[in-house]
Structures are given as structure tokens and as C-alpha cells.
Amino acid sequence: MTEEATPRPLDLPAPTGEPRTDAFRRLLAIVDRLRAPDGCPWDREQTVDSMAPSLVEEAHEMVEAIETGSDEGTVEEAGDVLMVVLLICRIAEQEGRFDLARAATAVGDKLVRRHPHVFGEANADSPAHVVANWEKIKAAEREEKKDDASALAGVPKAMPALQRANRLAAKAIAAGFRWNDPEGALAKVEEELAELRAAYAAGDRERTRAELGDLLIASAFVGNYLDLDAERATRDSLRRFEARFRAMEASLEGRLREAPLEELIAAWREAKDEVG
């Protein structure tokens, strides 16, 4: 028989009496223990690069929990996101690159710098005014660093396409490149749809692909004029589609592939009435 190892108690810092601080310090101690020489083999094996996909995955799971209205799920996923961030910073610290203190200080300094209406003498009497000031400050920071000075700078290329379209449209609008009202944006969608139809009718596959992309982007841009998030609207629609499709599958009792189109359409309409 192998002798079971006796777990060492977690060495926690003395409580401060402030719940947020105490919980955060406990999590820090847990992450440090996981990365210790006698910690978890899996955690000790991870690198900053290997943890990056986990950060994206956990962030998406947190968004899903928020959108489905689950506070319990949001708490759990928020904790997972926080854990991944702390683990990445701990790994980097052990590699002599950066640490959590540096990351926290940097974002704290940035928040103070970009909120002069809170921490300085500037005025901002509306959320729109706050955003305008924020963009001006960011542009000045990029210019000082000799970074990309375009009004569209700062939107990660790795973002989901619709989310990135939403952010690029918002930046373009803030820079003055905008329709006067939502009708202009909606007319652009109709224009792009007509161009897609023309490209398809001409049998030009490359042009059809380009026009499809333009149509999707134009549709996403409409969200900025209607104060709607195109990414979230798409996720909500996908959830509805999945629920309706599953209901349709159940009603057809395994005959999905064999059912004629008329029956499929009727079953789909019934599913829409059933699940909304």
C-alpha cells in the first residue's frame, strides 16, 4: 500500500476584516501554493502562452452566465476569470517578466488618468461626454507612445468578428464618420443585400463572399445606431435557433432527413410557437 501524503494547511495571511481583501488574499495564497515546488503538477507546467486560451474560454463562459441571468453561474465564472488572471501573473512573476502588482498598478494609473472628471478638474456631464474624453485621452497616449494614431486603433484583431465590427463602428462614429440617423444605416444594409444578390446571380464566388461580409458588417453597424450589441443579439438568436431546432427534431421523431420541405417548415413554425 502506498502511504497517502498528508496535505499541508494553506498558509493564509492574517484577516483584515474587509471581505473583498481577505477573499482576494486567500485566492492569491492558493495560486501561489499551486505554483510552488510541491504544488500541482498541472499548474506548475503551465506557461503564459498555454493559459491564454483558458482566459478567452472563461471570459466567454462568464458572458454566457451574465446573459442567461444566472447570478450563481456568473459568480463561478467571474472567479474562474480572476483565477486565470492571477495564475498568468504568477507564472510571469516566476519567469522574471512582470507580476500582479505591476498589472494592478498599471490599470489603476490608467483609470485615474482616463477619468479626469472623477480624479481631476475636468467636467463630464453625460456618458457620451465621458466616452469622448476617454477616446481623446487614449489618442493622446498613443501619439505619445508613437503607436497607431488612427481613430480605429486599439480594437484587437482576435475579437469575435461581430463584436469587433461593433467596436470599430463605435470608434468610426465617435470620429464623425456616421449616418444622421438609423435610417441611413438600415438603407446601407439594403444596399449591401442588393449587391450580394447581384454577385450571386453573376456566379462570382469571390465577389459573393466579399458582399456577404459587407452585408454582415453593415448589419452589425446598425446596432450602434439602435443602441444594440450585435454580438449579443446574434448569441441570443443562436440560442433561440438551437431551442427551436431541438423542438423540431423532437416533433419529427427521427424523421428529420426524410421529411419533405413542407413538413419541415410546418414543424419549424410549431417549434417557434412552442419555444418562442
Give me the pLDDT at residue 178, please: 92
**CB-CB contact of 230 with 219 (8 Å):** yes
**CB-CB contact of 22 with 15 (8 Å):** yes
Name the pTM for this structure: 0.70
Q: Which has the closest alpha carbon to 212: 234, 230, 194, 229?
A: 194
Could you tell me the three cell numbers for 273?
410557437
Q: How open is the CA angle 211-215-221, to the nearest 5 degrees? A: 140
User: Does the CA dihedral 56-57-59-64 come out positive or negative?
Assistant: positive
pLDDT tens for each residue of the chain, 276 residues long: 344 556 667 777 888 899 999 999 999 999 999 999 999 999 999 999 999 999 999 999 999 999 889 999 999 999 999 999 999 999 999 999 999 999 999 999 999 999 999 999 888 889 888 888 887 888 788 788 877 878 888 888 888 899 899 999 998 998 889 999 999 999 999 999 999 999 999 999 999 999 999 999 999 999 999 999 999 999 999 999 999 999 999 999 989 999 999 999 999 999 999 987
